[in-house]
């Protein structure tokens, strides 16, 4: 019996040996991940300062995305933060989206 060590990074392979697959994220995951990213960006910039117009438009977009996939409560909380930016409204939106993310 002959033993050989195969190092996958150095092994020869042709493209036909590798399985082909395309994964596309589902719409709910994309909407939730986008909302988490934009809400984190808002917190990073500071919740005491006024929201810049670019951040407001991104928040509106993610609220629309959340609404489109049926997450209306999360969408409403993100819109509430956009309209009246404050730490309490950010916290409500962030917690709702975070819990939704954990429940996927």
| Per-residue pLDDT in tens (0 to 9) along the chain, 104 residues | 677 776 666 666 665 655 666 677 799 999 999 999 999 999 999 998 899 999 999 999 999 999 999 999 999 999 999 999 999 999 999 999 999 999 87
Environment class of 77 (CB within 10 Å of its CB; exposed 0-12, middle 13-18, buried 19+): buried
Q: Give the model's pLDDT for residue 64.
A: 98
Q: Give the model's pLDDT for residue 25.
A: 75
Copy the structure tokens of residue 37.
């990213």
Q: Give the model's pLDDT for residue 8.
A: 67
User: 85 vs 18, 24, 38, 56, CA distance in Å?
Assistant: 49, 33, 13, 10
């Amino acid at each position: 019996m002959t033993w050989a060590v195969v190092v996958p990074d150095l092994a020869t392979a042709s493209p036909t040996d590798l399985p082909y697959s395309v994964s596309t994220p589902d719409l709910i995951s994309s909407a939730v991940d986008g909302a988490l990213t934009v809400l984190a960006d808002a917190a990073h910039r500071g919740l005491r300062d006024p929201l810049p117009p670019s951040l407001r438009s991104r928040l509106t977009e993610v609220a629309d995305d959340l609404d489109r996939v049926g997450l209306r409560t999360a969408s409403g909380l993100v819109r509430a933060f956009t309209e009246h930016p404050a730490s309490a409204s950010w916290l409500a939106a962030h917690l709702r989206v975070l819990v939704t993310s954990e429940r996927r």
